[in-house]
A = this chain, B = another copy of it.
Amino acid sequence: MVGGGFGGIHAVSELRRSDCDVMVIDRKNHHVFQPLLYQVATAALAPSDIASPIRAVFSRQENVQTVLGEVTAANLEERTLTIGSDVVEYDLLVLAAGVTHTYFGNDAWAPRAPGLKTIDDALEIRRRVLLAFERAEFEPDAERRARLLTFVVVGGGPTGVEMAGALREIAARTIPQDFRRVDTTSSRIILVEGADRLLPGMSETASTAAKSALERMGIDVYLKTFVTRMDAHAVYAGDQRIPAENVIWAAGVRAVDLADSLGVEQDRQGRIVVGPDCAIPGYPDVFVVGDLAVQTSANDGTEVPGVAQGAIQMGAFVGEILARELRRDAPTSHERRPAFSYRDKGAMATIGRARAVADVAGASFAGFFAWLLWSFVHVAFLIGFRNKVLVMINWTWQWLIHARGSRLITGALGSHVGGVDARLDAHDSMHVHQFED
């Protein structure tokens, strides 16, 4: 089992009564509840609220061994995995290593526009966002100040929409009182999406509702617009130059590098094409689940979306196949297996405070009720009772008084943003000599 995300965890759980040894390998020691990662990035939740150590998740499943390490390659002919400098043999393999963000060939943008896939990513974004306001407070130059207060979110999927809404919430409601000089409510949040609508994975109704809700909050939404260039102080969206210090990358995903080592069919994003049984055609002992798999649902012929539900359902599906075959000591073969059908349980995205859009059971709705549903579903799916309680408390708190509890800047100051200068105006009791521009 490579990957301790939704797919990996649900596949392993199905094997709890099987007579086998399961090795769960992940490059992090924790499972992350990805849908709430943007809340860590925007200081609403602490990392440990949405993450659980994989070892603790499988504490009671005796046949599971957790390995902290990165699988860099798999050799399907020799049935081996490369983990660091070690090579491990397997009998059955489930790849659930997911995707990472891609800059469409512009890897030079990475330091300028961090993506959001891991807890470390989220903490880096949180650090940058909070530092931007700190720097703006003491920036005497109006143009530079405006640039520090401009946040460009690239990508209009759920992560982009939720990030943009949360940033606006911070700037307009959470922190204005904390700053003395800068008016943080003047911050500009710009959401850039290449497609002709936001949330392309949801209904047209939801897309329209999301766009107008964001615009009412004061967020600029640019559709059919691609980021073409970035330099130190600006982002180019189409032909337009947007002076902005802060860019957050929520566009484009690509399979982890491991996928390229297999020598099997991949799609344009490097994801692995699997058969109806979620196994790689010709390799009935190698399954791929979650974001890393290109899977066509058997019921309606559409592609299974790269969302938590897709990973959970594929993981459980593969876990059941394995449990059955192990029980009967059946030969592994594509033919005897059922075909995977995706059950669309709906999609939703939250937009700022107490508002969301949801597509559930054929209906599409927006507003407070959608947000309540969103909250309920997300808390229900969190792993661990403790995390559920803590997230609910944090949210209630935030909802009541607009505070965000995790506004800590950790890590060295200025290691990425170029230092925080205490530039101060001449003032009654304190005067500053500026030795730099």
Which residues of A line the B interface, CB within 8 A? 20-21, 23, 25, 27-30, 46-49, 51, 53, 55-56, 58-60, 62, 64-70, 83-91, 119-120, 123, 130-131, 134, 138, 175, 177-181, 386-387, 389-390, 393-394, 397, 403, 405-411, 413, 419-424, 427-436
Contact = CB atoms under 8 A, between A and B. Distances in A.
Contacts of A405: 48, 386-387, 390
Contact of A408 (B53, B138, B397, B403): B53
B430 A88 contact: yes
10 contacts: A21-B428, A29-B134, A59-B177, A70-B413, A86-B421, A91-B429, A119-B410, A120-B411, A123-B410, A386-B403
A30 B126 CA distance: 14
B408 A51 contact: yes
Nearest to A62: B180
Nearest to A131: B68
Given A86-B434, A87-B433, A408-B30, A422 B25 contact: yes
Nearest to A436: B85
Give how many copies assemble into the complex.
2
A16 to B, nearest CB: 15
Nearest to A426: B89
Contacts of A120: 410-411
A359 B389 CA distance: 35
A65 B428 CA distance: 13
A85 B408 contact: no
Contacts of A138: 67
Given A84-B422, A85-B436, A29 B411 contact: no
Given A67-B422, A70-B413, 20 more contacts: A21-B429, A46-B406, A47-B408, A48-B407, A56-B403, A56-B407, A59-B178, A62-B180, A64-B180, A65-B181, A66-B178, A67-B424, A68-B131, A68-B134, A69-B420, A86-B432, A86-B433, A86-B435, A87-B432, A87-B435
B386 A53 contact: no
Contacts of A427: 21
